[in-house]
Chain A
Amino acid sequence: MLGILRTIWLTFLHMFHRNETVQYPDVKPYLSPRYRGRIVLTRDPSGEERCVACNLCAAACPVDCISLQKGEKEGRWYPEFFQINFSRCIFCGFCEEACPTYAIQLTPDFEMSEYVRQNLVYEKEDLLISGPGKVHDYSFYNVSGLKIPGKNKGEAENEAKPIDIHALMP
């Protein structure tokens, strides 16, 4: 009997404890920059999309919710389409870890609810943002060997000028 009364007293005291309730949506919770929320596709510092349609994110995804098709524009690889089925996504971040160009990133945004499940399928226009996301300085094409507009052979960060095989001088 005493135990029950004690419990009721302690519960009563809770009315005067400080609330931990966060008055969402007027007050948003703090999310760290590494919070694994909504996935975006970012652009490199020059404004071109970073994604090179290498398919590593799709291969890494444990639930196979990423599908894309490589296209090529003047030597640059890019995704013709890029679909993520967010009704399947588990926000594990494996795609972000796998991406070699820092294109795909998870952002601290979880506010993605939809009434219609079909609307949870995001296409490239829903994913592509206009900035570099969390990684500000990386441009993959500056370190790869492909020739693209603005970067000829030999103009990457670690490349020598192309060999002239007809040159006779050493």
Chain B
Amino acid sequence: MAKIVIDGREVEARTDVNLLQACLEAGKDLPYFCWHPELGSVGACRQCAVKQYANADDKRGRIVMACMTPVTEGAIFSVDDPEAKEFRGEVVEWLMTNHPHDCPVCEEGGECHLQDMTVMTGHRERRYRFDKRTHNNQELGPFVKHEMNRCISCYRCVRFYRDYAGGEDLGVFSAHNNVYFGRHESGTLESPYSGNLIEVCPTGVFTDKPFSKMYSRKWDMRGAPSVCSNCATGCNTIINERAGKVRRTLNRYNDEVNRYFLCDRGRFGHGWVNAPTRLRSAGYVINGDMTPVPAQAALDHFGKIAATGKLVGIGSPRASLESNYALRKLVGAENFSTGMAEPEHSLVKLAVSLLGSSPARIATMHEMETSDGALILGEDVSATSPRMSLALRQIKRTAFNKAADQARVPHWMDASVRTLGQDTVSPLFVVSPTVTDLDGFAQDAIRAMPENAARLGFAIAHRIDSSAPDASDLTEAETASASRIAEALLAAEKPLLVSGLQYASAALLQATANIASALAAKGKTPLVSFVLPEGNSMGLALMGGLSLDEIVSRSADATLIVLENDLSRRLDTVRFNTLIDNAANLVVLDHSVTPTAIRSQVTFPSAAYTETDGTLISAEGRAQRFFQVVYPDAPLQAAWRWIADMAQAAGRSHVKPWAKLDDLIAEIATIMPVFARIPEAAPASDYTLEGVPLRSQTHRVSGRTAIRANISVRDIPPPASPDTPLHSTMEGSYSTDMPGTLVPFYQVPGWNSEQSLNRFQQEIGGKMRGGDCGVRLVEGVANAAASYAMDVPSAFVPRVGQFMLLPEARVFGTDEMSMMAQPIADRAAPAVVRIGGAVAKGSQVRLSLNGEVFTVDAVSDPTLPEGVATCPPHMVSRSWSAPGWVSLEMTAPAERVETESAV
């Protein structure tokens, strides 16, 4: 820490940040554009000009850019100096010379960083009387809207897109005041992080296209803190609502998880909550047709069919922990399934047990960014957890920063650091059957089939600690790789191991755990992470239950209750039909129509995550609470409330209704010790800040007396829910000190854009003032004795006449709920089988997946070995997702048929 003087006030400032950051952390408002907490300083916009004085006698000073100035002991600065103020106002005037008169028709208005900075500098009068330069826009795909007239050339978009996120198709073109930020031609932005441009751009150049179609001003929307459930990473989000409709998803800062950025699947994957595929009424089958009925009628019908006989419950890794628990309580633990089929069920359990018993620490994504020796073993993380891949990408900055340290350049001086680091080698090793997005900068990108990747993992562990088993019959190249990687991991201070469930390989998980144990045996503290498939996979694994395969036998002649799970995605058609036909009754609780729901006898519409509250456990073992932003119309209610109602209707008196979520959470924490800490994931619904509950709408929310006036001119009381501590209206408390888990929107006076997040953090880029988000339930065992899995698989052997078909996970297409959102469906490319080997253009291939024959377009993929092919899971065959041997029958281009998507 150093003492500096800002406008005569002595301030303690951190020495590893720039002056702009120090001023902001000291509570001093200083305008800026091109600096960003994650992107560092480049000194392009010149907006943060302050006066620096050589010493106390220097009365004149000189203007410097705060973002490019280091903090040094005893330095004297002035923000309020008239010359500096005038210059800052002039910078805004220069930006305004070309800025279009667009605010009323710009989606950024009301949360625009440019608006805020213009007001902050006091620039009011337009003295430029000449023409404005204009640009033509480009079509950038279904996610991001482009309006180049508004650009102020802060360069943040390309710095994020190219430097931070590794994208290549967005760039700067032309020069001087003609600079243009776009693609070389219109076309969909390729990066799966393109949505962050919306928050990174300080003006309205890049805006949220799906949101624009149902646009609402930021001040008009209700906000709620939520958690994305489109993968197991558990990124924190803010969801916004107006007039009962969810409008958009924004990033919610979590210091250890997603920090400033989301992936596009999370940002644009919520549209299914508004889609016509929503179930909005209860119903049961009358005369062969599912008929909507009042809720009580459906419950009574359920009571009749379930009065006697066994109840069997199938939970879901995409449903909240509370709903799963309620179902488990209703049917009994011995009749409860996690809702996962084999091999997923056993693999998730194995992953969780390995994490819980390993001497390694489960890595947070923030920790991953600064690893100095990382191995990705057998997983295409860029497809199964894009946000984690973005964090892993920052590992190359570890090497950059080392070079910067040698040159005595501070880490925040971004352009210099990247220039110094351009020839460095990133301490990242990727081993994967297919090319991944991280290959480009990895020190080694090794192609290996899952078995061989696992063997390599075992070999690495053996070369770290010889008591770990080695793989036999390794090739020379494999031996060399194993030694190299083992050496790098041993040399690292923060070694990181990542694997996952994409290739359904227990050996990969065990090999990774072996490496972790080996590193620990050598005195290191390794970090480990397993990518799990779904939002609550970890939660279900911790809760325990039977696999779907096991439940098939138990559900004969029973009433089968399926909670928010589409079994047709998990069981092949034969087993799916068998399960349903053998059961006496099928009861489905879900928020959306699925092939399972349409087979049900009774249906109950459960509330979506935007309409209810609950807990999800992420792959990191972090329990996080999500809160509702919509107060849904009856009969929609949380699934656990339906289950309590169903229990009452069927006379199962051991399940009593819970008045509020906190009661249910308290019960779970007591009954299941593994979940003892979930009440700490968020404050209870009676939380108050300074004696007043929190508000979820801004003070400026408008239209309260008109919004419902077309239905009735009479006022009704505002909606309320006992499950959330946030009030549904603009009445209530709000503070930058509020708990990070409860932030409904970011806004402080003078800072209406997402930059106001700076005020919510103790140190910019550090923890929220109000504390951490979520609570970790799973930790490794720090000094566990080394225990090694001994089952080393044999090498992959290709078969003549057959192909090993591997699942090609995709950011857009292979996840269930996000594909029911229109923008994601638009973005998803059609399914295609990639084949290692020559394939004529336009060919198709016929193959049998899970017992059914499909015809799919085929392309050649030179990065795949002969005898290996890939196919996206769930997109061709709805249930296929695990590797297996197939015969591929090629059909010539002349015989093409139109293919149907399974999604």
Contact = CB atoms under 8 A, between A and B. Distances in A.
B9 interface: no
B102 interface: yes
B216 to A, nearest CB: 8
A107 interface: no
A67 B134 contact: no
Nearest to A141: B105
A64 B104 contact: no
Interface string A83-121: 111011000000000001100000000000000011011
A160 B105 contact: no
Contact of A87 (B110, B174, B220, B713): B713
Contacts of B109: 54
B702 A66 contact: yes
B705 A64 contact: yes
B287 interface: no
A165 B100 contact: no
Contacts of B710: 81, 83, 121, 123
B105 A165 contact: no
A163 B137 CA distance: 11
Nearest to B178: A163
A141 to B, nearest CB: 8
A65 interface: yes
Range for the number of chain A residues in contact with chain B: 35 or more
A123 B706 CA distance: 10
Nearest to A84: B706
A158 B131 contact: yes
Interface residues of B, number: 43
For A123, A146, A165, the residue with the greatest tally of chain B CB atoms inside 10 Å of its CB is A165
Nearest to B180: A165
A159 B133 CA distance: 6
Given A58-B220, A145-B150, A159-B131, A153 B706 contact: no
B103 interface: yes
A129 interface: no
B700 interface: yes
B702 A145 contact: no
Interface string B487-499: 0000000000000
A153 to B, nearest CB: 5
A162 B135 contact: yes
B60 interface: no
Nearest to A58: B702
B127 interface: no
B105 A52 contact: yes
Contacts of A67: 702-703, 706-707, 709
A93 to B, nearest CB: 16
B132 A159 contact: yes
A85 B713 contact: yes
A38 interface: no
Given A58-B702, A64-B704, A100-B104, A145 B709 contact: no
Given A59-B700, A72-B213, A165-B174, A144 B706 contact: no
B134 A64 contact: no
B656 interface: no
B100 A163 contact: no
B752 to A, nearest CB: 12
A117 B713 contact: yes
A90 B655 CA distance: 53
B745 to A, nearest CB: 15
Residue from A65, A67, A81 with most neighbouring chain B CB atoms (10 Å): A67
Contacts of B848: none
B134 A161 contact: yes
A145 B109 CA distance: 14
A160 B132 contact: yes
A159 B134 contact: yes
A143 B149 CA distance: 13
B212 interface: yes
A31 interface: no
B242 to A, nearest CB: 9
B709 A121 contact: yes
A83 B136 contact: no
A128 interface: no
A66 B220 CA distance: 12
B730 to A, nearest CB: 10
Interface in B668-726: 700-707, 709-710, 712-713
B99 to A, nearest CB: 8
Contact of A145 (B132, B178, B703): B132
A65 B486 CA distance: 68
B174 A88 contact: no
Nearest to B132: A159
B101 A101 contact: no
A135 interface: no
B215 interface: yes
A153 B149 contact: yes
A163 B104 contact: no
Contacts of B173: 165
Given A69-B214, A144-B105, A163-B174, 14 more contacts: A55-B110, A55-B217, A58-B706, A61-B702, A65-B703, A67-B707, A70-B215, A83-B703, A83-B707, A88-B706, A117-B713, A121-B706, A163-B134, A165-B180
18 contacts: A54-B109, A59-B217, A64-B703, A65-B705, A65-B706, A66-B706, A67-B706, A67-B709, A69-B243, A83-B710, A118-B712, A118-B713, A121-B709, A145-B147, A153-B149, A158-B132, A159-B100, A165-B174
**A-B pairs, 4 with minimum CB distance:** A145-B100, A54-B104, A67-B703, A67-B706
